[in-house]
């Protein structure tokens, strides 16, 4: 083996090490941030529950948002803090631990928009098992994979047929509304 081949091989090995370390670092940062958001949601929920007033909760989130944004910059707006509080409620710690290695915060935000717990669990499980990107998750939700799967597996238990009307709030975000009709 000549000197150039040795240098190329060494370079390739070092590039592989750097890339692997970068990937692992990104995954670890994502995991830590997602856990941070879950714990922030837990603290918010526990604080608000002590006072048991919805208006108080809105004010707490608003004030907290102002303070955190002042100190840390964007990422702690009212909507984000509300998502964190929902995140804590919708994903118990034991379920979170199994999902957190494969799903990013952006995955969880998409899942939070799903109001039906079984549907949310369906997409979370598939997202985890199939290694879906956020884009794929959005596509599957918008294509009504859950509804199509449920209808095809148990048509005899389906008493109403779901029609969905998609309206665009923004170019990148869609909101799905269900209209139930007796069949």
- What distance in Å separates the CA atoms of residue 48 and residue 61, rounded to the nearest whole number? 9
For the question of whether the overall pTM of this predicted structure is more than 0.85, the answer is no
Q: Where are the domains of the chain?
A: 1-90
pLDDT of residue 6: 87
- What distance in Å separates the CA atoms of residue 79 and residue 41, rounded to the nearest whole number? 12
Is 100 or 141 the better-scoring residue by pLDDT? Answer: 141
Q: What percent of the chain has pLDDT over 70?
A: 79
Q: What is the pLDDT of residues 66-78, one digit of tens each?
A: 999 999 999 999 9
Query: Do residues 102 and 108 make contact, with C-beta atoms less than 8 angstroms apart?
Result: no
Reported as a pLDDT band with limits 50, 70 and 90, residue 100 is confident
Reported as a pLDDT band with limits 50, 70 and 90, residue 88 is very high
């Amino acid at each position: 083996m000549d000197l150039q081949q040795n240098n190329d091989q060494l370079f390739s090995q070092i590039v592989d090490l750097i890339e692997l370390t970068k990937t692992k670092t990104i995954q670890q940062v994502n995991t830590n941030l997602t856990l941070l958001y879950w714990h922030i949601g837990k603290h918010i929920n526990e604080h608000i529950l002590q006072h048991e007033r919805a208006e108080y909760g809105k004010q707490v989130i608003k004030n907290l948002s102002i303070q955190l944004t002042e100190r840390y910059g964007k990422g702690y707006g009212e909507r984000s803090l509300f998502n964190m509080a929902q995140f804590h409620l919708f994903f118990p710690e034991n379920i979170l631990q199994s999902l957190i290695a494969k799903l990013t915060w952006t995955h969880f935000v998409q899942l939070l928009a799903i109001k039906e717990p079984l549907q949310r669990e369906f997409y979370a499980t598939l997202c985890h098992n199939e290694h879906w990107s956020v884009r794929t998750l959005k596509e599957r939700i918008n294509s009504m994979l859950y509804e199509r799967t449920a209808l095809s597996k148990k048509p005899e238990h389906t008493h109403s047929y779901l029609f969905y009307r998609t309206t665009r709030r923004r170019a990148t975000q869609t909101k799905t509304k269900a209209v139930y009709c007796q069949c």
